[in-house]
Amino acid sequence: MTTDERPAAERNGTRESLPEIVVGVDGSLESRTALDWASAAAERRGARLVVVNALDMPLIAMPFSAPVRMNPMPEVADRASGLLTTAVGRVAETQPGLKVRSEVSLTDPASALLEASEEAELVVVGSHGLGGVGSLFLGSVSIRVSARASCPVAVVPPESRVERTSGRIVVGVDGSELSDAALRFALDEAARTGSELTVVHAWHPPVPYYTDTFIASVDFDRDTFLLRTREAVQASVDKARTEAGADVPVHVSLVEDQPAHALLTAGEDADMIAVGSRGRGGFRGLLLGSVSQSLLHHTEVPVVVVRDRS
């Protein structure tokens, strides 16, 4: 089921090719905040906003064939249509002229957003929805989507500010490929918003960023380690700047601390925190690293969990 707010020319098969930002809505206050944040992000990127509502219809077993989703009752379909109409109307008020497409999915919310992530530039989801339990647990949808999406995922807490106020973005780096991808994303976002970027590397023995400099002995030279680590981080920044084509003010911060705590502290008043879905300490079998999970559970700032398509 799709409600399409595009001009007639686009609906007739000649739609303009635009990047798409996908946001999930369910009528909750949290999803409204995510909608506003996603609308602003789409405006900055010149992207189309895709607003998705998922009905989570039950599967029906069919003899000699695959299960199929039950069609919604008319009142359920009407509610979804009304919810999307309200969401699209809100976008028209907050971001006039933004191209919007809305969809109703019969699947569960996480599956709907994961499917949409295959073609999206960014997926945006509230940290809790109608099924949330206050501050006790992060919503299962946001965790599942952050862990498995094919593109970066922004998890937006209800306390988030849609307007950019601090002019600062924070990104965590550890030398892994995914942290490099997060760095490129953060540089690009900083360039779009005119923000400065704080690059945080938190080190905690025995796993420093520049592993060749660490000597597990009494002869460990802290000054040499910090110098070489800063050089390694700066090299990553310079490489990412070139790849992203972004010339923004960058501040490198080396902190002896647990990574999640260091990022929470550095990002307390930031507009966004970006982090790779897993870092150097991750294992292949883990879908979401401990640092990204900790950030999602404890920050009041939007967190973008970056996965590199390549």
| Alpha-helix runs per DSSP H in the chain | 8-9, 29-45, 74-94, 109-117, 140-148, 177-193, 222-244, 259-266, 290-298
Provide the percentage of residues in the chain whose pLDDT is more than 90: 53
228-243-98 Cα angle (round to 5)? 130
Q: What is the pLDDT of residues 202-257, one digit of tens each?
A: 987 655 555 554 445 445 677 888 898 899 999 999 999 998 888 899 999 999 99
**Lateral strand order in the sheet of 196-203:** 2-4, 100-105, 48-54, 20-24, 122-126, 153-156, 303-306, 272-276, 168-172, 196-203, 250-256
DSSP three-state, residue 13: helix
CATH superfamily of 2-156: HUPs (3.40.50.620)
pLDDT digits (tens, 9 = 90+) for 144-200: 999 899 999 999 988 776 666 789 999 999 888 899 999 999 999 999 999 999 999
Contact 35, 23 (CB under 8 A): yes
Could you give the CA distance from residue 213 to residue 206 in angstroms, rounded to a whole number? Answer: 11
Task: State the pLDDT at residue 294.
Answer: 86
**From CA 236, how far away is CA 202, in angstroms rounded?**
15
Which of 185, 113, 182, 107 is closest to 144 using CA atoms? 113
Sign of CA pseudo-dihedral 188, 158, 40, 31:
positive
The residue assigned the tokens 């949409």 is 116
> Quick one: tokens of 176?
């892994």
Distance, in Å, from the CA atom of 40 to the CA atom of 95, rounded to the nearest integer, reads: 7
- In angstroms, the CA 237 to CA 240 distance is 5
Q: Say what the pTM is.
A: 0.84
Q: Is the pLDDT of residue 34 over 90?
A: yes
Indicate if 168-306 has the same CATH topology as 2-156: yes
Which CATH fold would you assign to the domain 168-306?
Rossmann fold (3.40.50)
Report domain extents, the chain. 2-156, 168-306
| Contact by Cβ (8 Å): 42, 95 | yes
* CB distance 54 to 115 below 8 Å: no
Position 12 confidence tier, pLDDT thresholds 50, 70, 90: very low
How large is the average pLDDT for residues 5-34? 73
Alpha-carbon distance of 245 to 171, in angstroms, equals 17
User: What is the mean predicted confidence (pLDDT) over 48-62?
Assistant: 90
What DSSP element (H or E) covers 273? Answer: strand 272-276
